[in-house]
Structure formats: structure tokens, C-alpha cells
């Protein structure tokens, strides 16, 4: 099982607007995501979490700094299908079946699939608990099931890094917890590199090897917090003293950067 390539983010700067309306969204952001590592990015609204993810995905061009994936530029990495993206909304094609939505990345730029460990859509969907829904259409699925299809689609072409932008934010807490534990179980079996944006402290802790805490105005890394909980993790991790202690620490640090952002405005 390949763990993919290292992601190197160096001195990223991103500016929106012009003149008096200029806003520095990211300033001198540097981070390395190791092969097979799960990194969550958390922070107050407006700190640039999603912007950073979009720069790594190649959806935004940086105004300074660089991103490399396995030593290649973002453009080269995306052209070679080394990057998978799961947005907040599932973005499924409503006229295609669940199976065909997951199969879609396999049909786009097929030349880039040469030598890759492509996953069978049926097997992949079954592993996500959707084996019964292969022929259904997105409108026939719940929000949580649609998001699982989107995640399966991102895994289908075996990317080296998976970028996830608050994929469970629209779900209720019970459904959200089911989805995150399902993702955790699947990831622990496949161990791809993941950058995961979230507002949820427990979600960041239960999923991650490290938590990147960002501050706002301008967006920057305030602290990188290691998550020293044993793997594989299950629902029982929430009840451990180590989990509760770490949750308390992350919440205190998050409050501190939020208060700092309020004073800067």
C-alpha cells in the first residue's frame, strides 16, 4: 500500500482585492504533510483555512510562496491526478447513478491513470456502506450518504493526498459522528495523506495525527498540536482522559486566537 508523497507548503501568501480593499488572507504559511499523515486545520472564521486548502488544490494561485506535492508543482500534481478534493457540498451529478458518479474520475484524463492502483467503484462504495445504493441517484440519498459518495469518488483514482473542506458541516451531530467514524475506519485501512478543514475540535482530535491551529488577520499558523492518541481509533477514544485533556487544551488555544482576532479588527 502506497502512502503517497509528501506535501510541502512554503511561505504561502494570498491576497484578495485591490487598493484600499486589499485583504491578506494568508501570510507566510508553511507546513509539511508527511506521507500517510492525517492533518486537520482548525481556526476561527476568516483565518484562511479553506483558502489554504484551495491553494494546495490548485483552485487559487498563491501571491507568494510555493506548494509542492512529491516534489512537483501543484499544476503537475493535479494533471497527474495526485490530488483528490472533497468540497463542503457533495457536488454529485444528479443525472448519474451513485456508481457512475464514483466512476467519473476514472474516465477523465484516463492517460493519468496509467500505473495507478485504481479502485473498483462497487467495492469502494460497499466499503462505505453503500453497496445497496449503486444504482440509485443522488436525490434518493440522505445528505450523509451523498457525502460518503463524494468521499468514495475522491478515493477512486488513488490520489496521493486527499483535501477535505468541512465535508460533514451540513450534517446533524449524530449523522456527522457516524460519517467521521466511517471515514476514520476507511482511512486507517488505506492511510493516504489528508488535509482536513473543520470547525469541530472533537472531529479534529479523533481523526488527526496533528492539528494545525490557524489565527486570523492575517491568516497564519498559530500552533501545530500533535495528537498522541493510539491508533487504530474507535468511538471509545472520545471517552479517554487523554482525549478530554487534549480537547480542553485545543479549545483554550482556539479561544485565545479568537480573542486575538477580535482585538486586531
User: Quick check: 105 and 156 in contact, CB under 8 A?
Assistant: yes
User: Quick check: 27 and 219 in contact, CB under 8 A?
Assistant: yes
Model pLDDT, residue 34: 93
Higher pLDDT, 195 or 175: 195
Model pLDDT, residue 113: 62
pLDDT over 70 percentage in the chain: 93
The alpha-helical segments, DSSP class H, found in the chain are 49-57, 74-79, 98-107, 121-127, 143-155, 173-190, 201-207, 241-264
Q: Is the pLDDT confidence value at 249 over 90?
A: yes
Q: Classify 106 as helix, strand or coil.
A: helix
Model pLDDT, residue 112: 62
Query: Does domain 1-82+161-167+194-265 sit in CATH 3.40.50.300?
Result: yes
Model pLDDT, residue 265: 56
Amino acid at each position: 500500500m502506497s502512502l503517497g508523497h509528501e506535501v510541502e507548503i512554503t511561505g504561502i501568501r494570498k491576497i484578495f482585492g485591490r487598493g484600499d480593499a486589499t485583504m491578506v488572507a494568508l501570510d507566510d504559511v508553511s507546513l509539511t504533510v508527511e506521507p500517510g499523515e492525517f492533518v486537520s486545520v482548525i481556526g476561527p472564521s476568516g483565518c484562511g483555512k479553506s483558502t489554504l486548502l484551495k491553494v494546495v488544490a490548485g483552485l487559487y494561485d498563491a501571491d507568494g510562496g510555493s506548494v509542492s506535492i512529491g516534489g512537483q508543482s501543484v499544476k503537475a500534481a493535479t494533471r497527474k491526478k495526485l490530488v483528490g478534493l472533497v468540497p463542503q457540498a457533495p457536488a454529485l451529478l444528479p443525472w448519474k447513478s451513485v456508481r457512475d458518479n464514483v466512476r467519473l474520475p476514472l474516465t477523465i484524463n484516463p492517460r493519468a491513470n496509467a500505473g495507478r492502483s485504481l479502485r473498483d467503484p462497487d467495492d469502494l462504495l460497499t466499503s462505505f456502506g453503500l453497496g445497496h445504493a449503486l444504482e440509485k441517484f443522488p436525490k434518493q440519498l440522505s445528505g450523509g450518504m451523498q457525502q460518503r459518495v463524494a468521499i468514495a469518488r475522491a478515493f477512486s483514482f488513488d490520489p496521493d493526498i486527499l483535501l477535505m473542506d468541512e465535508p460533514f458541516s451540513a450534517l446533524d451531530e449524530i449523522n456527522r459522528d457516524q460519517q467521521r467514524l466511517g471515514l476514520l475506519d476507511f482511512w486507517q485501512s488505506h492511510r493516504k495523506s489528508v488535509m482536513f478543514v473543520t470547525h469541530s475540535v472533537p472531529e479534529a482530535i479523533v481523526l488527526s495525527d496533528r492539528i494545525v491551529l490557524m489565527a486570523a488577520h492575517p491568516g497564519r499558523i498559530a500552533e501545530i498540536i500533535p495528537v498522541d492518541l493510539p491508533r487504530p481509533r474507535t468511538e471509545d477514544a472520545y471517552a479517554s482522559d487523554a482525549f478530554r485533556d487534549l480537547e480542553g487544551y485545543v479549545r483554550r488555544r482556539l479561544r485565545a486566537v479568537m480573542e486575538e482576532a477580535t482585538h486586531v479588527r
